[in-house]
Structure formats: structure tokens, C-alpha cells
Amino acid sequence: MTGQKNSLSGLLLVDKPAGVTSFEGVRRVRQVLRVRKAGHLGTLDPFATGLLPICLGDATKLTPYLLGADKTYLARLKLGEETDTLDVTGKVVARCDRLPGEAEISQVAAALQGEMLQTPPMYSAVHHQGERLYQLARRGQKVEVPPRRVVIHHMAVEEIELPYVNLRVTCSKGTYIRVLAADLGKALGCGAHLVGLRRLAVGTFQVDTALPLAVLEEPSKLEEVLARIIPMSRCLPEIKAVRLQAAELRRLQQGQAVPCPLPGFLSGEPVKVVHNNDLYAMAEVRQHHHETWLAPLRVFART
């Protein structure tokens, strides 16, 4: 059984509780399942809860394809107060007694949708000259951080109970909901900070299908946990699958390009090479002399 656990590969959806870092969540999963390699698909702040997808074993090689997925959050804001960290963990640095009405809040929230430049907050894990920004911030240092282009696909007011506002946000990778909360408060003229955050989805994966972190640590639940690991062949549902004959499969795994057996693929398009419901490789479609080929990008050891 131990050897089997060490060879586990796939994606495990974890529902992270408040008060636990994303790194600690990964550490606990590694300990329980005895896997050597594991990594999450995007940090959740310690006070935040919700979906933390964790790649196990060979599935860590799929991280570049999974990290770009959009994310959906339920965010709770408090209007009328700004903090130095932009969230509930910081010190209040400004207050405002005048709070906007419900119609204005909904109108301004709708206007913040779309593509925008967003500057990462100082209290974040972004690197600057070899150090994390939060390390500099704790020493009282401030540095210029270049803004990043993000997309707010959808933002809607779920509930208003002043001074609190609940928002549902779907956004691109790299978006800081804390910054979005502060921007909303600034646009409303009263300031705001984030007091609660729950991640509901990462790409097509939903928190409703995730296991609470505490369940993983119950010995009696081990078989259930193992059964919930998503196989690598199903980790990228939006990427097309190609099935090859045994000879082409061997050549691809040896690093050689092979003819693409199906029409309709675009040059540069990534595909997953699947055999017997197992993922054998990630490949890229390439055009050469009016022929379509599959060039291996990542190959996986399979017996």
C-alpha cells in the first residue's frame, strides 16, 4: 500500500478552512498520502476559505496548463474602513461615516468589470529583488510594483447589509480580490476592505466537490480520499484528447514528433495524448510541409 501511495498522481480538490495557509494545506496532504511531490494551483490567504486544488505526483507537471484558469470567489467587504493590508488582518488607517446606497453600490460594482491594470498589494507573496513584498512591508519598506493586466469577467452584488457587502467575482489568474475591494471602496468615496473570502471555483472545478481538509486526516476516510483523486486524463477537460496507436505512442514518449491522426487542430494548440484512459503526454500541434504533427511537450512514465 505504501508503494501505491508514493506513486499517486492526479488532482485532489481540498476545501481549505480559515486559519490555515495554502502551504500548510499541501504539507498535510503530502503527509497523509505520503506523496513526494505536491503543489497547489494558487495561494489562498490564511483567513480565506474554499477550493484549493492540489496536484499530486506527475500531475505537478500539468501546473502550467492549470494555473491559467479563471477563478470564482464570494467576497465580503466592509465599507467605510480602509486597512493597511486591504483586508481584515490589517490595522484601520482611515474611516468614513458616509455610506452609499444600494443602487450606487451595484452600479459602481458593475462598472469595475472588464480588463484593467492592477497593482499587487505590498502585503503579498510577489517577489521583488529576491524578497517577498510582505517581508518588505513588515519592515516598513515600500517599493514600486509594476501593475499587472487582469480581467474581471463578472462581478455582481449578492447581498447588502451595510456596512457589509457580499460580491460574487469571476476573474482571471493573478487578480487580488483585496485590491478589488479597495478599488470599489475608493470609487464609492468611502473606502473598504476585505473581511471574508471564499473561493468557489478554479476553472471547471467546484468547491462543492472538494473534501474538507479535516476529512483527509481521518484514518477511516483514507479510501474515500483516494477515490476522490481526479485522474490526470481528466485534469484538463477543456483540452482536446488524442489517441494514438502503440507505435506512435512509443515514439512520442521518446521525444519524437508523430503525425496527428485527426483533422481540425490549430497550429500551436496543446493536446493531451490519452491511452486506455491514462494520460501519456502533453503535445503541441505543429504544421510542417502541409502536414499536421504532434510534438511532445511533457511525457509521463507509464507501464
Sorted by where each begins, the domain ranges of the chain are 2-68+204-234, 71-202, 241-299
Identify whether 183 is a catalytic site residue: no
The confidence score (pLDDT) of residue 142 equals: 74
The confidence score (pLDDT) of residue 303 equals: 53
Domains 2-68+204-234 and 71-202 share a fold: yes
298, HSE (Cβ side, Cα atoms, 13 Å): 16
- Nearest alpha-carbon partner for 65 in 223, 240, 301: 240
Catalytic site residue from 45, 58, 87, 183: 45
2-68+204-234 domain in CATH 3.30.2350.10? Answer: yes
241-299 domain in CATH 2.120.10? Answer: no
The confidence score (pLDDT) of residue 125 equals: 63
Q: Is 107 helix (H, G, I), strand (E, B) or coil?
A: helix
The confidence score (pLDDT) of residue 141 equals: 65
Q: What architecture is the 71-202 domain classified under in CATH?
A: 2-Layer Sandwich (3.30)
Amino acid, res. 3: G
Burial of 71-88, coded b for 16+ CB within 10 Å and e otherwise, reads bbbbbbbbbbbbbbbbbb
Q: pTM higher than 0.85 for the full model? A: yes
Beta pairing, strands 270-275 & 241-242? parallel
| Residue-wise DSSP of 126-159 | -EETTEEHHHHHHTT-------EEEEEEEEEEEE
- Note the maximum CA span of the chain: 72
pLDDT along the chain (303 residues), means of 10: 58 96 94 93 93 95 92 98 94 96 96 91 63 64 80 96 98 94 96 98 96 90 92 92 90 90 84 90 87 90 65
The confidence score (pLDDT) of residue 5 equals: 41
Amino acid, res. 27: R
Conformation bin of residue 65: beta by default, left when phi > 0, alpha when psi is -120 to 50: alpha
